[in-house]
A = this chain, B = another copy of it.
Amino acid sequence: MPHKIAILGASGYTGAELVRLIATHPGMDIVALSGERKAGMSMGDVFPHLRHLDLPDLVKIEEIDFSDVDLAFCALPHATSQAVIKDLPRDLKVVDLSADFRLRDPAAYEKWYGKPHAAIEMQKEAVYGLTEFYREAIRAARLVAGTGCNAAAGQYAIRPLIEAGVIDVDEIILDLKNGVSGAGRALKENLLHAELSGGTRPYSAGGTHRHIGEFDQEFSALAGRSVMVQFTPHLAPFNRGILATAYVRGNVEAIYQALRDRYDSERFLEVLPFGALPSTRSVTGSNFVHIGVSGDRIPGRATVVVALDNLCKGSSGQAMQNANLMLGMDEAEGLMLAPVFP
C-alpha cells in the first residue's frame, strides 16, 4: 500500500516538481496539498501541466488531517517553514525543502538569515539532507533538511576531495551558473524574460549568498578546522540547471581518483571519463549528477565541474530520495526518470 504524502507549499516550483515525481512513483500517494494564497484552487489550475493527475485541491495547512499522513514534504519559504513544522505532530516524518534546518548552529542561522531561529530544539533533531553523505542518519531521521541547490552542487564537487585530503582547503573557488527556476515563482523584475534572456550576470557576489553557510558548516566539519570558500553565482538564461565550476589545487589524478572512488557505487552520481566535461543539458529533468575533472597547464591546479538539475537533484528529487529512505523504500524508487534531451 502506497505511503500517504502531504505537500505543504505545493504552489511553488519545488512543490510542482514533487508532484511530478510522485505522479509515477509506485509507493506514494498524495493525500493533501497546501497553498495558502491559492487554497481552494485545483492543482491543475495552478500548474496546467499537472492537470491530468487526480489530486486533492489545495487547502490551507490547518485544514489538513495529519493523522492520515505518513510523510510531509514542506516546500514553504524559510522562516515560515520552521513555524509550520514546529506545530506538526511530533511523530510525523518531515522532509523540509527550506533553509530552516540546514544549519546546525543557531548563530550561523541568525547570521545568514537575519533573524533568530524560532524552533531551535527541532534544529538539533534535523539531519542534513545530502543523501550520499548522510544516508544512514536520514534513514533513521524524523526530520530531514534539504540542502540548498547551490550547496548540493558545490559539495558534490568538493566533499570527496576534502575527505581524501587531496586539495588545499584554503584555495577553493566556486563559480556557479544558475538556471532561473532556483529563484522560484516570485514576481521580480530581474526574473522577467525580457530582462533575463539573452545574457548573464553575477548576483550575490562577494561571499554574501546564504548557501555559503552550508559550505562553511560542512567543509569545516570534514576538514576539522575552519574552511571558507569563495563563491559567486551567476544567473543564466535557462530554466533548470546548475553548473558549478570548482577551481581547486592538488594533484589532478588524485582528485579524479578521489571522486571516482567515492561515487562509483552511487546510482545518481556519474563521474565522467577524465577530461570530459559535463553539461546541464545532460541532466535536466532528472535526479542525475554529472561530474567532470580537468587538469590545467599550471601544475597543481584542477577544475571540477558539476552539473545537476536544481529543481530535481538540487531540491525536490533530493527530497524524494530522502523520503524513500525514511519510509524504508529503495532510495531510487520513482527517481530513475531519464533526463529530457533535447
Show the binding face of A for B, using Cβ within 8 Å. Answer: 13, 16, 19-20, 23-24, 47-53, 173, 175, 177, 179-181, 183, 185, 187-189, 191-203, 205-208, 212, 228, 230, 232, 234, 236-241, 243, 245, 247, 267, 270, 272, 275, 277-286, 288, 290, 292, 294-298, 301, 303, 305, 307, 311, 336-342
- B52, B294, B303: the one contacting A270 at CB < 8 Å is B52
A238→B239 contact, CB < 8 A = no
Q: When A51-B270, A201-B279 are in contact, do A230 and B191 touch as well, CB less than 8 Å? A: no
Give the distance to chain B from A288, nearest Cβ to Cβ, in Å. 6
Nearest B residue to A305 via CB reads B202
A selection of 30 A-B contacts at a CB cut-off of 8 Å is A13-B342, A48-B279, A48-B282, A48-B290, A49-B286, A49-B338, A50-B338, A53-B338, A191-B192, A192-B192, A194-B239, A197-B239, A198-B239, A198-B241, A199-B238, A199-B241, A199-B281, A200-B279, A201-B281, A206-B295, A207-B298, A230-B301, A232-B245, A232-B303, A234-B243, A239-B342, A240-B340, A240-B342, A247-B247, A285-B340
- B187, B199, B267: the one contacting A280 at CB < 8 Å is B199
Q: Which of A20, A23, A189, A338 has the most CB of B within 10 A?
A: A338
CB-CB under 8 A from A188, the residues of chain B are: 187
Known: A185-B192, A212-B297, A240-B342. 17 other contacts (CB 8 A): A48-B272, A49-B339, A51-B282, A175-B175, A180-B193, A193-B237, A197-B197, A199-B307, A200-B236, A200-B241, A201-B243, A201-B278, A201-B281, A202-B292, A207-B297, A208-B297, A237-B237
Give the distance to chain B from A15, nearest Cβ to Cβ, in Å. 12
Q: When A175-B175, A191-B192 are in contact, do A296 and B197 touch as well, CB less than 8 Å? A: no
B201→A193 contact, CB < 8 A = no
CB-CB under 8 A from A272, the residues of chain B are: 48
Give the distance to chain B from A270, nearest Cβ to Cβ, in Å. 6
A303→B206 contact, CB < 8 A = yes
B205→A303 contact, CB < 8 A = yes
Q: Which of A206, A228, A307 has the most CB of B within 10 A?
A: A206
Q: When A197-B238, A205-B294, A230-B247 are in contact, do A336 and B177 touch as well, CB less than 8 Å? A: no
